[in-house]
Amino acid sequence: MSEEKQERPPIVSIKMVPAGVELVIAALRKLPHEQVDGLVQEIAGQYGYQMQQLQAAAEKAKADAVKGQEQKNLVKQVAAPAAPAKKATKKAVKK
């Protein structure tokens, strides 16, 4: 007996705003559980993973921006010309 290879369906990627994904999940949950549970779990899992990735990327970008600003401020401090020193003057004291 030869085992037939079970072909998997192709994977597609749909770009959607978070509110759209939540709406799709809510709509699918209104359908019979037996028909949509796997799909709901897959969409919810991908959605959660991608939101975590976006949040991590945003936090890294913010940290990089703060670090970049700190470096710019340091460069400005180092590159700024020193203020000329005030000359000490002696006033003649009359006796």
Q: Where are the beta strands (DSSP E) in the chain?
A: none
Q: What CA–CA distance (Å, rounded) separates 40 from 45? A: 8
Residue 26: give the domain boundaries.
18-79
Across residues 59-70, what is the average pLDDT? Answer: 87
8 A C-beta contact, residue 63 and residue 74: no
Four-CA torsion 65, 67, 68, 73, nearest 10 degrees: 130
Q: Is the pLDDT of residue 93 over 50?
A: yes
Assess if residue 36 is contained within a domain. Answer: yes
Residue at 61 is within a domain: yes
pLDDT single digits (tens) 8-52: 888 888 899 999 999 999 999 999 999 999 999 999 999 999 999
| pLDDT band for position 76 (cuts 50, 70, 90) | confident
pLDDT at position 90 is 61
**Structural domain total, the chain:** 1
Q: What is the mean pLDDT of the chain?
A: 83
